[in-house]
């Protein structure tokens, strides 16, 4: 542990004079009855470093949270800047691809059913319409309009917890 802390260059965290307090290893090993005091010193130093570390981590987390709110799949429309530029572009792209995917999969499945059962063109017609419905469902879920099984809602609910 000591080696770790030493290798972490304590000079970053204080004036140069602070370094003197770290006992040379040979002296520390020779004086047994001072080990208590040394350990206390080590521990407080460790604690302060841990505090600094956790504070930094928290800051990072906050920064990441902000970043995630900007970059993440839009779960609400409250942020005015969210609609701006790249984020709005990404959202529009996401919604349109959901709709197209639903229609394409429906049409493809209908075509396959027609090929298998020879029921042309009814499979294509029915499944194209169902695929359109699935696409609209996808879009509404992505936009967070539909409650319940909406997967974005679920992700948002878990994030709030």
Partner 1 sequence: MHVDPIHQFQIKSLIPLAEMGAHHLNFTNSALVMFIIVGAVSTLLLSATRPRAVVPGRFQSVAEISYEFVANTVRSSGGTEGMKFFPFVFTLFMFVLFANLIGLIPYSFTVTSQLIVTATLALLVFFIVVVYGFWRNGLHFLNLFVPKGVPKAILPAIVIIEVLSFLSRPVSHSVRLFANMLAGHITLQVFAGFIIMLASAGILGWFGAVLPFIMVVMLTALELLVAFLQAYVFAILTCIYLNDAIHPGH
Q: How far apart are CB 26 and partner 1 at their closest, in Å? A: 24
Alpha-carbon distance of 124 to 134, in angstroms, equals 15
Alpha-carbon distance of 59 to 132, in angstroms, equals 45
Nearer of residues 27 and 61 to partner 1, judged by Cβ: 61
Count H helices and E strands in the chain, helices first.
6, 0
Q: How far apart are CB 117 and partner 1 at their closest, in Å? A: 16
Q: How far apart are CB 142 and partner 1 at their closest, in Å? A: 9
Which 8-state DSSP code applies to residue 9? -
Among candidate residues 39, 36, 48, the one with its CA nearest the CA of residue 12: 48
Nearer of residues 31 and 64 to partner 1, judged by Cβ: 64
Number of residues in the chain: 161
User: Which residues are at the interface with partner 1 (CB under 8 A)?
Assistant: 4-5, 7-9, 12, 49, 53, 60-61, 64, 68, 71-73, 85-86, 90, 93-94, 97-98, 100-102, 104-106, 109, 127, 130-131, 133-135, 137-138, 141, 148-149, 151-152, 154-155, 158-159
């Amino acid at each position: 542990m000591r080696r770790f802390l030493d290798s972490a260059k304590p000079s970053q965290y204080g004036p140069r004079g602070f370094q003197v307090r770290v006992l040379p290893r040979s002296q520390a090993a020779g004086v047994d009855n001072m080990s208590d005091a040394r350990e206390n010193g080590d521990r407080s130093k460790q604690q302060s470093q841990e505090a600094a570390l956790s504070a930094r981590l928290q800051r990072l987390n906050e920064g990441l949270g902000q970043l995630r709110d900007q970059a993440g799949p839009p779960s609400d429309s409250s942020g005015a800047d969210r609609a701006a530029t790249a984020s709005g572009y990404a959202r529009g792209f996401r919604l349109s691809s959901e709709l197209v995917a639903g229609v394409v999969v429906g049409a493809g499945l209908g075509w396959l059913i027609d090929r298998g059962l020879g029921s042309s063109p009814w499979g294509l017609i029915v499944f194209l319409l169902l695929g359109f419905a699935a696409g609209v469902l996808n879009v509404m879920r992505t936009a967070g309009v539909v409650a319940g099984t909406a997967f974005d809602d679920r992700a948002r609910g878990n994030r709030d917890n």
